A = this chain, B = another copy of it.
């Protein structure tokens, strides 16, 4: 029985924050940072930060701190963004086009290759440099352009159908913004992004506090 190290979900979700802070430090020409400093800038405790990193290895220098460039590279590897990921977005509506045009993804090695939509009125147009294509072309496009991730920004009732299509096309990761659970085979990973949760969490806390 070799014991598998299981990494807390919450640890993974903090890594992008550390990454961003390290990028800032790097731009500020800071080359060494302590866990105290990095943690404070990330909004967590320093023991939290050190424990998080310890799941993946030893990246610091005792008595000194962390080499910004080195840690940046390590986190890149952990998050899998040392390689490029290509995405397609299904649903060229309000949210889909906003995501497609977002410049922040490129900084993380994420490239939106195309948008797909069922509406002929949207097909053929360009969203910035990104083409909007008919849904029928999705499978071929994914295979030709070596796409790994599909983003779902269609209405809820269309989400399962789109997910099925993405699975058949061979996509192994789905980022789903539609407010429904979708069924996929075990070898496909679904990441849900439910924006209403954040707003209702705020609403809950506000109404508690105002009571």
Residues of B within 8 A of A94 (CB): 97-98, 101-102
Please, how many residues of chain A have a CB less than 8 angstroms from a CB on the other chain?
55
In the complex, the chain B residue whose C-beta lies closest to that of A203 is B80
The reply to whether the CB of A105 lies closer than 8 angstroms to some CB of chain B is: yes
Which listed segment binds B: A8-16, A138-146, A159-167? A8-16
Residues of B within 8 A of A78 (CB): 204
Q: Are B85 and A95 in contact (CB under 8 A)?
A: no
The reply to whether the CB of A64 lies closer than 8 angstroms to some CB of chain B is: no
Q: Sorted from nearest, which 6 A-B pairs have the closest CB atoms?
A: A80-B207, A94-B98, A191-B202, A98-B98, A80-B203, A16-B200
Interface 1/0 per residue, A9-47 and B, CB below 8 Å = 100110111011000000000000000000000010000
Q: Are A198 and B202 in contact (CB under 8 A)?
A: no
Q: Are B197 and A16 in contact (CB under 8 A)?
A: yes
**Taking chain A's interface residues, is the majority helix, strand, or loop, or is none over half, making it mixed?**
helix
The reply to whether the CB of A122 lies closer than 8 angstroms to some CB of chain B is: no
What is the count of identical protomers in the complex?
A: 2
Residues of B within 8 A of A194 (CB): 16-17
Residues of B within 8 A of A98 (CB): 94-95, 97-98
CA–CA, A205 and B11, complex, Å: 13
Residues of B within 8 A of A101 (CB): 94
* A153 CB → nearest B CB, Å: 9
Q: Are A173 and B81 in contact (CB under 8 A)?
A: no
Q: Are A81 and B16 in contact (CB under 8 A)?
A: no
The reply to whether the CB of A195 lies closer than 8 angstroms to some CB of chain B is: yes
Q: Are B195 and A193 in contact (CB under 8 A)?
A: yes
Residues of B within 8 A of A205 (CB): 173, 189, 191
Identify A172's interface contact among B175, B199, B201, B206, CB under 8 A: B206
Interface 1/0 per residue, A105-120 and B, CB below 8 Å = 1001010000000000
CA–CA, A198 and B9, complex, Å: 11
